[in-house]
A and B are shown apart, each in its own frame.
Chain A
Amino acid sequence: EAQVTQNPRYLITVTGKKLTVTCSQNMNHEYMSWYRQDPGLGLRQIYYSMNVEVTDKGDVPEGYKVSRKEKRNFPLILESPSPNQTSLYFCASSSLPPLRTSGSSYEQYFGPGTRLTVT
């Protein structure tokens, strides 16, 4: 079954304690992305990756790190979590449109979400 998985699904932690949220996809997608979703603000992109070893900042990257050592995995790292990072996090993946269609996007497949609470 084609899917995007995230772990853990729920996490309660304390300020400053490093944590990693894993994301894995089995669809051989080049593109992967992390979003956070907060009430009234919608989905905001944190980081994205076009392929292995290629990552770039989204709209709200402060306080987060990512890595893309393998095509299927794209972990999100919070080196020193703070309460303002309490949120619902989604990982997503997608195949990529041809480069010549620079204004195009393809459907994104989302993981089930990780609800993070930082106290």
Chain B
Amino acid sequence: RKEVEQDPGPFNVPEGATVAFNCTYSNSASQSFFWYRQDCRKEPKLLMSVYSSGNEDGRFTAQLNRASQYISLLIRDSKLSDSATYLCVVNPGGYQKVTFGTGTKLQVIP
């Protein structure tokens, strides 16, 4: 089993839709979780950290489910500018050690 797994997509959704991605991780001792956004051929950028209590930033909500070992990202009221690849990042244990998922591609359609 891969350390971090994501559905590669693509997820094609209309503008205004709500879309959710999940990411599963294999190491139950993992402590740090992040969602990064990557535009085509550009560098990844932090979208949000994922806290145990869940967190929200505008239209974006991140959740952590430790029992089932997954994190989720919910995007409400999708915009064309949300089209990108979303990378799940997990610390599987170890100081400043992270593992990147292969990403989920989102395409928001007019």
Q: Is B42 an interface residue (CB 8 A)?
A: yes
Given contacts A43-B87, A103-B95, A105-B98, 20 further A-B pairs with CB under 8 A are A40-B102, A42-B101, A44-B100, A88-B41, A94-B96, A96-B95, A97-B96, A102-B94, A102-B95, A103-B29, A103-B30, A103-B93, A103-B94, A104-B31, A104-B91, A105-B91, A108-B98, A110-B43, A110-B44, A113-B41
Q: Which residues of B contact A (CB under 8 A)?
A: 8, 29-32, 34, 41-46, 49, 87, 91, 93-98, 100-103
Q: Quick check: A41 and B102 within 8 Å, CB to CB?
A: yes
Q: Quick check: B46 and A42 within 8 Å, CB to CB?
A: no
Which residues in A have their C-beta under 8 angstroms from that of B102? 40-42
User: What is the bound-complex CA distance between A3 and B95, given in angstroms?
Assistant: 23
Q: How many pairs, one residue from A and one from B, have CB atoms within 8 Å of each other in the complex?
A: 62
Contact of A113 among B8, B32, B42, B94 (CB under 8 A): B42
Q: How far is the CB of A80 from chain B (nearest CB, A)?
A: 27
Task: Specify the chain A residue showing the minimal Cβ separation from B91.
Answer: A105
Residues 102-119 of A at the B interface (beta carbon under 8 Å): 102-108, 110-113, 115
